[in-house]
Amino acid sequence: MPHTDETEQFTALSARLTGFDDVDLIATGLVEVYRAVAVEQLGTELYGRLLEGTEPVDDASQAAARAVTYLWYTGSWPGPPPRLVSSRAYAEALVWKAAGLSAPAAAPGGYGSWAEVGGR
C-alpha cells in the first residue's frame, strides 16, 4: 500500500468512524482500496470534507460518514444495489471481527469449523 498523507488521513477517519484502531484497519490490507472506492463514490469535494476531521454536520457529510462505516463493516458500498468491493473485502469485513468470528466460507478449517469451540 503506498503510504501518503491522504492514506493516513483516511485511516484516521476510518478509525474514528468504526471504533477500530488504525493497526486493525491496516492489517486488513484494504485501506487503499477503500480509500479509492470512497473517493470514486463520494467525489473529491465531499470526500475532502470528511478528511478535515471535523464532526460531519450536514446531511451529505453524515450520509458519507455512514457509507464509509458501512464499507468497513460489510466490505461493500451501500446501494441500491450494494456494491461488493471484492471477495477479500467480504472476508476482512469488520462485522466478523466485531462479533469475534471468521467470515463464513472464507476461513481455513473446512466445513463446520465455525462450530468448533477450540482455538477461539
The contacts of residue 24 (CB under 8 Å, 6+ apart) are: 94, 97
Query: Contact at 8 Å (CB) between 67 and 79?
Result: no
Q: How confident is the model at residue 73 (pLDDT cuts 50, 70, 90)?
A: very high
Domain count of the chain? Answer: 1
Out of 10-14, 93-97, 115-119, pick the least confident.
115-119
Residue 119, domain member (yes or no): no
Residue 110, domain member (yes or no): no
Residue 108, domain member (yes or no): no
Rounded CA Rg of the chain = 15
Query: Contact at 8 Å (CB) between 55 and 118?
Result: no
pLDDT digits (tens, 9 = 90+) for 76-113: 999 888 888 988 999 999 999 999 988 887 767 667 76
Residue 117, domain member (yes or no): no
Residue 115, domain member (yes or no): no
pLDDT digits (tens, 9 = 90+) for 38-69: 999 999 999 999 998 778 788 999 999 999 99
Model pTM score:
0.84
Q: How high is the pLDDT of residue 18?
A: 98
Q: What one-character DSSP code corresponds to residue 107?
A: S
Residue 113, domain member (yes or no): no
Range of the domain at 52: 5-103
